[in-house]
Amino acid sequence: MAVIPELGKQEPANMPTPTSNKSLATKAGGFTTIIDALDYAAQGETGYSFFNLRGEVSTALPYRELRDNAKILARRLAGRFERGARLAVVAETSPEFLTTFYACQYAGLIPAPMPMPVNLGGKDGYITQIRQMISGAKADAVVGPVNLREFLSDAADQAGCDTVLDFDELNALEDNGVEAVPFGPDDYCYIQYSSGSTSAPKGVIGMQRTVCANLTAIARHGMGLRDGDRATSWLPLYHDMGLIGFVLTPMTCQVGVDFLATSDFVRRPLLWLRIITEHKSTITYSPSFGYELAAKRSARAEPGAIDLSRLRVAGIGGDMVRPEALNAFAEAFGPFGFNATAFLPSYGMAEATLAISFPDLEEEVMVDEVDMRHYTRSGVAQPASAVTSPEHKRGFVLCGRPLEGHAIEVRDENGSRIEERQVGRIFIKGPSLTPGYFSDPESSAAMYNGEWLDTGDMGYFLAGQIVITGRAKDLIIINGRNIWPQDIEWAVEKVDGVRGGGVAAFSVDDGGSERIVVVAERRGLDAEALATLKREVSSVVQNAVGAPAEIVLARPHSMVVTSSGKLSRAKVKQKYLDGAFGEDASQENAVRPLAEARV
């Protein structure tokens, strides 16, 4: 494939990069910097491939070409920015973003990936979102695709950043002869913004040494990456699961990756599986909703078009693992060769670089059926029995054991370790933990208790594996009872007329007591049908958790979800408090807010 000398724009390619290297021995991680890993991978033939909405390879980018292009750009960046400067870069699924990201590593600059906008009409919300990130990162420049130039300029201006460059302008910078000085093991790697599911985005610091520790642990002890593996991903590259899991981890093992843009997956979920089929992928990952969405479209799969028999790792992460979603996918695609033992539920967070725990490979997913009445009263995950009614049962997926060199503890409110099946707050420690949040010393200090990091998650141990029950901040406490919002949401989603994945439950302090609010995104219905639906949802909530709730039926496409597809209760709650779901919630012509990612 020809490479244009002016920073290597690639001509369209019809063939993806190969799956295996002919002469380079596979090395599963063990590097101390990202550029050490890329320099090694560049000695082979594997690399990244980008697919369009038709399922065709739009660009093939071998690691060798990526390394060469990144080094060219690094010299140009070094002549423009001081070492240690921060670049806020829009993380579109493209060779331009990846080249810029790696160029920053070679130039000693700190990239801060930012999301793409996902819907039209959401300009103000998007500008506010990236303005917060630009300000938080104290960015020296903002970089992105040319079609976002207006948005980026507005956000940069509000954040007090004077330099905005599109990718073409970035690549056209002059080489002033300044030598690029790459990052070392004790230097920064990136600033990773959280998805903001419970709060405003925070810039998680990724250090070269901590990031490489997590990449090696994932590759060796999590997914067991090896020669002959090939990965496929539609995950957004702004999010840790997309960037760390499917840009950096495969590269450190010289494994090729096939990328599909997140927006294209949303439009054609089965294209994800078709690419896996046609290019014999063995590794993929998705939040639960991705598997659920593909299962819903399974009836459209053409005979012979999908074969998932080579898929040995179908990872789940980025949200609460939903056994119902996995069962639906396994049932839908079992006839297409999918083996449910490929499912690999895991637990992780950006503050730990990405991964914290994995179960053993090729094991069946283990689901713990819990009696939620007992759980909410005692804080103990007591197994459901034959007399436990279905509405009071809930299945929790076991998410494995800590990665090698890492540790997990579950503690009570006094900070003491607690026994198996007792639910408490999850703490972690290990070599991949962040030193803190960029330019936020208070939050950084609050995150740690000695060498242990407070995840903010709740869960319990069972048979040596960690089970996640929810975020501590999401917990609803009514009359001394602990109620998990997921229990309400998952019950309401089953009501006919409510969109799956479109329910948010939270509590509101009205000055005298806490009350439950449920915002449910409904389908287009007339006034009489809406009134009936509201009564039915109210009844379902009462039966599910034994408490009344205020029910708000929101118009279609009005919920807010994060970059990884998780529903953002905090932002939905704020919209509720701002009156955005008031009586006009049933009107179809209301202003549509920004959603960070819609699936």
Predicted confidence band of residue 398 (pLDDT cuts 50, 70, 90): very high
Give the contacts of 272 (CB within 8 A, at least 6 positions apart): 232, 234, 260, 265, 284, 290, 294
- Positive or negative CA dihedral for 234, 240, 243, 249? negative
Beta pairing class for 164-166 and 514-522: unpaired
**Residue range 89-111, pLDDT digits in tens:** 999 999 999 999 999 999 999 99
Residue 28: the pLDDT is: 96
| For residue 144, pLDDT beyond 90 | yes
Residue 560: the pLDDT is: 82
Stretch 548-574: mean pLDDT: 81
Q: Which two tokens stand for residue 25?
A: 């021995």
| For residue 200, pLDDT beyond 70 | no
Give the contacts of 92 (CB within 8 A, at least 6 positions apart): 116, 144, 145, 237, 261
393: how many CB neighbours lie within 10 A of its CB?
15
Whole-number average pLDDT of the chain? 89
Largest CA distance in the chain: 76
**Residue range 207-218, pLDDT digits in tens:** 999 999 999 999
Stretch 264-286: mean pLDDT: 96
Q: What is the 3-state secondary structure (H, E, C) of 35-103?
A: HHHHHHHCCCCCEEEEECCCCCEEEEEEHHHHHHHHHHHHHHHHCCCCCCCEEEEECCCCHHHHHHHHH
Residues in the chain: 599
Q: What is the DSSP letter of 543?
A: H
Residue 508: the pLDDT is: 85
Q: Which two tokens stand for residue 310?
A: 């080579």
Give the contacts of 317 (CB within 8 A, at least 6 positions apart): 241, 245, 285, 287, 345, 346, 347, 348, 355
| For residue 328, pLDDT beyond 60 | yes
Residue 546: the pLDDT is: 79
Q: Which amino acid does the sequence have at 285? A: Y
Q: Which two tokens stand for residue 437?
A: 């949040």
Lowest mean pLDDT among 455-469, 478-492, 576-590: 576-590
Residue 558 main-chain phi, psi, to 5 deg: -110, -5
Residue 126 main-chain phi, psi, to 5 deg: -65, -45
Given a contact cutoff of 8 angstroms between Cβ atoms, the answer to whether 477 and 506 are in contact is no
Predicted confidence band of residue 597 (pLDDT cuts 50, 70, 90): very low
Nearest Cα neighbor of 22 from 257, 224, 227, 219 is 227
**Residue range 429-460, pLDDT digits in tens:** 999 999 999 999 999 999 999 999 999 999 99
Beta pairing class for 47-51 and 256-260: parallel
Stretch 311-320: mean pLDDT: 90
Predicted confidence band of residue 512 (pLDDT cuts 50, 70, 90): low
Predicted confidence band of residue 195 (pLDDT cuts 50, 70, 90): low
Provide Rg for the chain, Cα atoms.
24
| For residue 197, pLDDT beyond 70 | no
Predicted confidence band of residue 479 (pLDDT cuts 50, 70, 90): low
Nearest Cα neighbor of 188 from 206, 210, 202, 214 is 206
Residue 511: the pLDDT is: 53
Beta pairing class for 355-358 and 367-371: unpaired
Residue 593: the pLDDT is: 31
Q: Which two tokens stand for residue 266?
A: 């949303």
Compute the distance between CA of residue 289 and CA of residue 334 in angstroms, rounded to an integer: 18
Residue 584: the pLDDT is: 42
Predicted confidence band of residue 121 (pLDDT cuts 50, 70, 90): very low
Question: Greater confidence, 324 or 195?
Answer: 324
Question: Greater confidence, 558 or 423?
Answer: 423
**Residue range 519-539, pLDDT digits in tens:** 999 887 778 888 899 999 999
Share of the chain above pLDDT 70, in %: 90
Question: Greater confidence, 472 or 218?
Answer: 218
Residue 349 main-chain phi, psi, to 5 deg: -165, 155
**Residue range 53-68, pLDDT digits in tens:** 999 999 999 999 999 9
Beta pairing class for 407-411 and 424-429: antiparallel
Compute the distance between CA of residue 223 and CA of residue 284 in angstroms, rounded to an integer: 10
Residue 564: the pLDDT is: 53
Q: Which two tokens stand for residue 471?
A: 């975020």
Structural domains of the chain in order of their starting residue, each with its CATH number:
366-472 (2.30.38.10), 476-586 (3.30.300.30)
| For residue 7, pLDDT beyond 70 | no
Stretch 182-201: mean pLDDT: 80
What pTM, to 2 d.p., does this model score?
0.84
Question: Greater confidence, 364 or 501?
Answer: 364
Residue 322: the pLDDT is: 86
| For residue 232, pLDDT beyond 90 | yes
Residue 211: the pLDDT is: 98
Task: Give, for 373, the enclosing helix (H) or strand (E).
Answer: helix 372-378
